[in-house]
Structure 1
Amino acid sequence: MKNFSDLTEKELLALAIALEEEDSRIYDEFAHALSDNYPDTAKLFRAMASEESGHRHRLLELFRARFGDHIPLIRRQDVKGFVERKPVWLIRPLGLDTVRRQAELMEAETKRFYARAAQRSQDAAVRQLLGDLAEEERRHEAKAERLEERYVSAEVREHEHESERRLFLLQVVQPGLAGLMDGSVSTLAPLFAAAFATQDSHETFLVGLAASIGAGISMGFAEALSDNGSLTGRGSPWLRGLVCGAMTTLGGLGHALPYLIPHFWTATAVAMAVVAVELAIIAWIRNRYMDTPLLSAAFQVVVGGLLVFGTGILIGSA
């Protein structure tokens, strides 16, 4: 992957073309999915898709004038800093609230991309076009926000955040949740393998402590190096790495600390209860912040946790 700051003007324009094509097709999918139940909203998304297509043609004309007909293949996944977009447009039936949140997120990110790209450009024509597109994306974001005013009740609106706030929460909560899941699940196997192999609380605690801290360091560096935050506004990558690493360590320590209890079987019973609570909390967080259905989140987390838990017991009892 390439850093946003390392892109040339040719690559910036090629990436902008790819982004506009992707967004236009997504809005077309939104319009198609909503046309039966929300025809007015479908018209709005068709208009937004048409505008994105117009943006693409303007970018193509400028690219050909500056760099010729060959456009490098560079996509959002090739550049650090973009938000990972879940393919919600493939879900049927597609809820209006889901579409609204996704549209706001898309427009906030695209607006930020054009604003940053315009600042970096040294070519006057490129800089002007990118700046104009940033302003037009701001108007798109306002259209997406009007969906909330028209279709979402005041009670629901009071509990939701603005699009930039959603973007911030998504990118702050996500590394913390990833760390908590990794710490709570991945450390189960070494901890309970050591527990059933030694049947000694002190030895088991040392293994759990080492596994938790080691996993925290690993996950912290992985998160810090995954995204420099140049486009998403996620802030310092090292701060995100610290959050992810701390949550990973905390997730592992949750079921390691009971082994400070000298009596082995009492400590094991408490540790198992803590594991159940941890998995329930993770399922709730995924449902609350990551839009995962509660039953699906619980099934995924519990099955994964039980598999790792059983692996540790089997290895430790061998």
Structure 2
Amino acid sequence: MLNFQSYRRRFADLSEQEILALAISSEEDDARIYRGFAQRLRPDFPGSADLMQAMALEEDDHRRRLIDLHRSRFGDVIPLLRREHVAGFHARRPVWLSPDLGPDRIRAEAAAMERGAREFYELAATRAGDAATRRLLGDLAAAEAGHETRARDLEATLLPPDTRAAEADTDQRRFLLTWVQPGLAGLMDGSVSTLAPIFAVAFATQDNHTTLLVGLAASIGAGISMGFTEAASDDGKLSGRGSPLKRGIAAGVMTTLGGLGHALPYLIPDFRTATAIAIAVVFVELWAIVWIQNRFMETPFWRATLQVVLGGGLVLAAGMLIGAG
């Protein structure tokens, strides 16, 4: 069976009509990508959505001009030629298939699309031996450069500083609700809820291997439970908290890490050394939670300290007393 690669044409072998057809299909694809970006951004980032829609209209105008040129030179039948049919043509990464793209990432991808098209046409123009082909490629490169300038002008018009700041706040809020909040809840649960069982077993048995096994079971079990609970609690469509899968991963992973932090020191053979390190790790975890709450969730420092450090210290003490008794 022949490989698909054998059907790809070299750019140097394309006729002027085929080059024009390739440019038309490329502009058509780019317009569809921009419209897809606009539709995705519209609910939360209307300013950036307007920018993507305006760029799609620019691509439509460019495509119409190219079609008019093709009709005048070669007639109405445009050959079917796309990027994937030409070896070495600048490929578009399918970023539009990603389920979660912020406005900054989308604007960066749009700029890269325009820049990549311009660079390709400029390079192709330097390699073209035919004068007419060189002129055509130069015109296309100039058109793409004009698109870059037009995109910057549109961004300045449609995204004034206050709109950009509002979109940045929305993007930050979505990041907090999707990753930070469930991750913080998981870290708190894993760090605090596993303290009592781990240290109770440690002080009751003074057996590092047994304590390690209990710590691993408690941490991983809590992580699985917390992850599934978070993912099943809210699909994110009405609350705007984002993908349940991402929230579940954040909560589950951080819960597991919170428990493992003071379980893994019991890999050390000496009980006293392992316990001292585990207790030190506990307080590092608790203060890290306080910092995250204060930094990202805007919880007052002293209230976070009272809730987390004091509460965690009481749980730790309870586990030690129960194990020692």
Structure number with bigger Rg = 2
What TM-score, normalized to structure 2?
Answer: 0.48
